[in-house]
Structure 1
Amino acid sequence: MLYQNFSKTPVLAAAATSLLLLLLLSSTAHAEAPMAANEATEVVISASRIEMARESSGSAITVLDSDYLEQNQVQVVSDVLRDVPGVAVSRTGGAGAPTQVRIRGAEANQTLVLIDGIEVNDVASGSEFNFAHLMNLEVERIEVLRGAQSALWGSDAMGGVINIVTKRGKGSLNGKITVEGGSYDTHQETLAINAGTDDYHYALSGTLLNTNGISAASEERGNREKDGYKNATINLKSGIDLLDNLSMDLVVRHVKSDVDTDSFLGGVGAVDSDDNTETEQTSGKVSAKLDLLDEQWHHRLSFSANDTDNTFFTAGTESYNSQGYKQKYEYQTDLFLYSSLTNSDDLEHRFTFAAEHEEEEFYNKGFSTIDRDMDVSGYVVEYGANIDDRYYATVAGRRDINSLFQNANTYRLTFAGWVTDSVRLHTSKGKGIKNPTLFELFGSTPDYTGNADLRPEENSTWDVGTEYHFNALDGYVDLTYFHTDVTNLITGSGQTSVNMPSDAKIKGVELSLVLRPSDNTRLNSSYTYTDSNDGNGNELVRRPEHVASINGSYLFSNDQTRLTTGVQYNGKQDDIEYDANWNTSTVTLSDYTLVNVALTHQLNKHIELFGRVDNLLNEEYEEVLTYGTKGINGMVGITITGSL
């Protein structure tokens, strides 16, 4: 059923129509190629489905590059997301424990997660991506796009997009080996090889992580059993130029994990138990790109799939199983045209059209066996204008045709402009939609029963910000106000899910600072204030009002030793408490501050020694009610690089 004939999908019909229309338009195209982004600027893909400079987008975007990740010795990607304005992270225990990421108060399954262009949200688990298993394996950059992005990316992007791009192979064949170990009997081994020329590239990497961990249920509440974690991840990224204007790319990723967990009881919360969860996720994408008219007209055709299998065990016996599969066919075309406003001002037009067809299948074996599926076709049109590399505007609209719900229309508008050489204004407005997931509709676990009467969630978001650039310090400071209205918000009620009867409202302020005053020094800082209301006067749970971070890195004069220090503050937040009958009430969790320190020393051209200490002040805290967190802990290791 899922593997239908590709030629029968609506994508190819839409692609053929688009090609015919754009061939007629292309006769007016100017001979020059589209302007490239300044190489010194941060490049993003998620903002408009094409590569562009961050400053060219009116959306609120944060980019964390590989230098930032390596300087902080990031092991798990979710840890570094705490440094991003507008982002809140919640982990239910130690390494491998379910980890949620929320953007601007949106629910975790309202954030679309892309890894090398593959949508990896887990159909088997509420269409939410579990960040617990995402290792920092050769990550080139992380883009965090905030606000409703459904017009570009569909249902899962109601709250925002997190786009993760891994490194591309380059140069002669070379490799890297990293071995590290430390607290909680943790050890990790990583191997990466890559190569690339103008005609081809490939990068293959893998990592093994093993730790005895901490108790998932809080030790402060009397739980002492250690809950271990194992993770094996492998990633392949490759491509080849078949012709001067035709290329093909292949990405494959496989993650296998096994995490010990604890039970959750009404009236008690998390308690020690002999439970564990095994997860396998395999994802892949094959795509082709064709450039015409001196690279002014791009065409992309792709197929991607993501398959996740979660199996839950109690005392070694399988208790239930949840599987999800999603496949997606996609065609996208981008046409660049040029004209002049005056003798000195140029106007660049960009027209983007995309057609998508995706199919989801959900299988749940628990108290009963459930096998359901859903398919969605989406059509995207976006117009972008660039006036003399100073003012930028986009208008986007999308139509989704859904097999289970009413068809939906979404939109997004953005504007960015330099009012002086140092001051940039940016603003965006959009409508988002999030369909109830197959798990929310039909799922069944020992603690949950789906609700087939759920209605799609909708939101309206807007933001406006001012960014001031310090040319002498190679950086900027940005202040942004955001506002979100949510209709039909889906929330837990007892052991099921319901739509909230009242509209929820979320508003706040984001402040971010990025400075690189010298080649040896970097400073990043962020602060977010979030005011959330579920429509009944209650604060939305796990959305702290205040979140802040500061992170600095300094390379000493010997050009070999680097010290990086980060401080992350998470303010008070509400969480859910259950009584013995699963009735809910709210409780306030205390604020906490984490201090992390990392040190690296480049011994010679091929060998680097490193070490880090996390939670240096040994802070005691809970991110989720009754679940444990790590005390002071550290790791040391060595990285060896060289040509092969």
Structure 2
Amino acid sequence: MQLSAALCLSASAFSLAVSSPALAQDDMVVLPEISVTANLTETPLTKVGSAVTVITGEELKEQKILTVADALRQVPSVAVNQGGPRGQFTQLRIRGSEGNQTKVFIDGIPVNDPARGSEFDFANLLADDVERIEVLRGPQSALYGSDAIGGVVNIVTRRGEAGTRLSGRIEAGSHGTVSGHAAISAGGENFDFLTGAAGVRTDGVSVADERLGNTEKDAYENGTFYAKGGVDVTDWLNLSGVARYTRSRTDLDTEGFLPSVGHTGPLDSNQDVKGEQLFTRAQAKVTLLEGHWEQVAGIAYTEQNRDYRDLKPTVVTGTYEGERVHLDYQSSFMFDTPGIADAAHTLTFAVQRDEDSAVSESVWSSFDRSVTSTGFVGQYQLSLFEDLSLTAGLRHDRNDIFDDATTYRLTGAYNIRPTGTKLHASYGTGVKNPTLFELYGYTNTYRGNPDLQPEEAKGFDVGVTQALWEDAASLDVTYFNQRITNLITGSGQTSTNLPGETEIDGVEVGLTVQPVEGLSVTGSYTYTEGEDSTGAELVRRPQNLASLVVNYAFLGGRANVNLSIDYNGEQKDWVWTDPFYANRQTISLDAYTLVDVAASYDLTDHAQLYGRVENLLDEEYYDVWGYGAEGVSAYAGLRLTF
């Protein structure tokens, strides 16, 4: 949240710096990769003690990925649960945490929806304009407040480049799918601007799995418009802003009782949901004392609305509106003491205020509730002898519903340069306040519990990153351990705090290899064990997750082939065992493997022909029991750039 003050501008600026090598004395100098999420200021990854993964916009283009959710399947410890085919509600779980325990930012805007249990639905986030994705894992409430027990996902979109640039894409393929994107950007010495639109429409497949006897196709539509710009008013003042609007319509299938299997599941129905998302932010950045003192002040506004409808005739059965006003100020002072341990220091203070509101109106009931919270953050970063980096952060939150909360975080990284080894570790505490729906929500099957208490977490990780084969490869192995008390869980037709401690631990392995010019291999594997205080395995958290991405560029870079393999191990899920949704049982979902292949060829310097095949093995699988997914699907398209 505090970091959001710097994300909108500095994230995109540094991502461009990372991707553009600097020339000095006719030698190519590759700048160190930067994280803008791990700390409140941009930090080289070599000095980051937390576990963080970076996905670049170039990698997204190589794989021809349409949505951000598809890319996140490749991140260690990230489990993606999509409730059906394209466009259906998509959750993210990091290191065994719940879906609403991950904080999500887009261009510095916190986008967790107050009217959707403080979760962000990744179903409608298209990837065309994404420049960079960072996933920070482990408890991060000391920097980001509530919702950050599992970690943080920070998405940074492209900014305007020097000159004038026009780009576009059109593609079509299986299931009557058509998608496209167009953008125009401009930039100069003192300004940058970019605006564009992206969209997708598909006839789809049945949301309720065809293996359960459902045959009706369920369509999906998404239209997204965005603009982003900044101007240097003086050599010390920069003003910038960003706006993003998405409108979607998604066919739904209803949940019902299936006597054939003895529990609930989806069935074909004439229902849909129409949604709108508006994300905006404006900020001012002041840089003084020759760059040693940076101050950023910003305001962000988000509005997310959903109308659930019965069709033929069309009747709105439920409306949900989530709104957030976010204010922040951050001040960072950087200085060096070369005569004392060759040290570099960064002192940061930040304050942030959120006003969240949720409105629900349905045939069963309605509620209109809001909550205001204010957080104060202090952080100190210390670098010694260029090889040892330490960070300490402390946060105090005031909330008008719950007691004040104090959280903290410690990280360390030590580089052993002769052997190419980096040792890293972090420890943090976290808090997750009950959502407005958990407190006050009401449906035909749910009653809110106003007596719920905040969830509390503590966790650590420790690992080693080792460079191999003269820096042609890098291997990282990290052990993580997390404990959550007061875990909020469903109980009958309401929610309760689970007594005792929920335990989650596991191992993450990441590998990158560039054996020859033009060929890159990236792989990850995660083993996770998660049990609540009763000893029950946590649902929708597979023990085994793995990913492999192989990319090969040839013919002087004009041609590119990409293979991606994502493995999701066996996992548990809940189903209700009676038509009144009073009792549930745990079932097992089979493991599955998704294989995608993409290829492209540059016809000219301005035109690229590409194609991709998704789910090449025609895997039938469930992320959520009973909700189907597309089988093998093929798409082809043309990309133009001027």
> Does the alignment reach a TM-score above 0.5?
yes
- 1:630 is paired with a residue of what secondary structure? coil
Q: Does 1:526 align with 2:524?
A: yes
Q: Does 1:542 align with 2:540?
A: yes
Deviations 1:330-356 (A, max 9, x none): 0000001211355xx510111000011
1:320–1:445 Cα contact (<8 Å) kept: no
- 1:217 is paired with a residue of what secondary structure? coil
Larger deviation: 357-366 or 477-486?
Answer: 357-366
Q: Structure 1 residues 197 and 518 mapped into 2: Cα distance closer, same or farther (>3 Å)?
A: farther
* Matching residue's letter, 2:504: I
2:552–2:562 Cα contact (<8 Å) kept: yes
2:46–2:415 Cα contact (<8 Å) kept: no
* Matching residue's letter, 1:594: L
Deviation at 1:471, TM superposition (A): 6.0
Deviation at 1:559, TM superposition (A): 2.6
1:473 and 1:159 mapped to 2: Cα distance? 31
2:513 and 2:187 mapped to 1: Cα distance? 32
Which residue is 2:439 aligned to? 441
1:341 and 1:540 mapped to 2: Cα distance? 52
Larger deviation: 473-482 or 139-148?
Answer: 473-482
2:282 and 2:329 mapped to 1: Cα distance? 12
- 1:472 is paired with a residue of what secondary structure? coil
Deviations 1:600-638 (A, max 9, x none): 001110100000001101111111111101110011000
Identity of aligned residues (%): 39
Larger deviation: 471-480 or 234-243?
Answer: 471-480
Q: Structure 1 residues 475 and 168 mapped into 2: Cα distance closer, same or farther (>3 Å)?
A: farther
Deviation at 1:114, TM superposition (A): 0.3
Question: What does 1:139-158 align with in structure 2 at a 5 Å threshold?
Answer: 139-158=130-149
Which residue is 1:15 aligned to? none
Which residue is 1:411 aligned to? 408
Q: Does 1:95 align with 2:92?
A: no
1:513 and 1:156 mapped to 2: Cα distance? 29
* Matching residue's letter, 2:152: V
Which residue is 2:348 aligned to? 352
| Structure 1 residue ranges without an equivalent (≥5) | 1-10, 12-37
2:111–2:279 Cα contact (<8 Å) kept: yes
Larger deviation: 512-521 or 230-239?
Answer: 512-521
1:93–1:214 Cα contact (<8 Å) kept: no
Deviation at 1:268, TM superposition (A): 2.8
Q: Does 1:398 align with 2:395?
A: yes
- 2:147 is paired with a residue of what secondary structure? helix
Which residue is 2:16 aligned to? none
Which residue is 2:295 aligned to? 299
- 1:68 is paired with a residue of what secondary structure? helix
2:515 and 2:107 mapped to 1: Cα distance? 32
TM-score, structure 1 length as denominator? Answer: 0.92
Q: Tell me the number of residue pairs that the alignment of Structure 1 and Structure 2 aligns.
A: 604
- 1:489 is paired with a residue of what secondary structure? strand
Q: Does 1:241 align with 2:232?
A: yes
Residue 336 of structure 1, aligned match among 334, 337, 346? 334
- 1:225 is paired with a residue of what secondary structure? coil
1:191 and 1:240 mapped to 2: Cα distance? 23
1:113 and 1:494 mapped to 2: Cα distance? 30
Which residue is 1:20 aligned to? none
Which residue is 1:223 aligned to? 214
2:109–2:280 Cα contact (<8 Å) kept: yes
Deviations 1:367-426 (A, max 9, x none): 222111100010000000011321110000000000000000000000001134300000
Deviation at 1:521, TM superposition (A): 1.2
Deviation at 1:39, TM superposition (A): 4.9
Which residue is 1:33 aligned to? none
Which residue is 1:204 aligned to? 195
Question: What does 1:79-228 align with in structure 2 at a 5 Å threshold?
Answer: 79-228=70-219
| RMSD of Structure 2 on Structure 1 (CA) | 1.3
Which residue is 1:73 aligned to? 64
Question: What does 1:293-332 align with in structure 2 at a 5 Å threshold?
Answer: 293-315=289-311, 316-332=314-330
Which residue is 1:619 aligned to? 619
Question: What does 1:466-477 align with in structure 2 at a 5 Å threshold?
Answer: 466-470=464-468, 472-477=470-475
1:576–1:585 Cα contact (<8 Å) kept: yes
Residue 282 of structure 2, aligned match among 286, 294, 306? 286
Q: Structure 1 residues 286 and 519 mapped into 2: Cα distance closer, same or farther (>3 Å)?
A: farther
Which residue is 1:604 aligned to? 604
Q: Does 1:585 align with 2:606?
A: no
1:603 and 1:147 mapped to 2: Cα distance? 44
* Matching residue's letter, 1:365: E
2:138 and 2:540 mapped to 1: Cα distance? 18
1:160 and 1:372 mapped to 2: Cα distance? 26
Q: Structure 1 residues 446 and 637 mapped into 2: Cα distance closer, same or farther (>3 Å)?
A: farther
Deviation at 1:515, TM superposition (A): 2.2
- 2:115 is paired with a residue of what secondary structure? helix
* Matching residue's letter, 1:498: T
* Matching residue's letter, 2:635: M
- 1:128 is paired with a residue of what secondary structure? coil
Q: Does 1:559 align with 2:550?
A: no
TM-score, structure 2 length as denominator? Answer: 0.92
- 1:158 is paired with a residue of what secondary structure? coil
2:462 and 2:253 mapped to 1: Cα distance? 43
* Matching residue's letter, 2:163: S
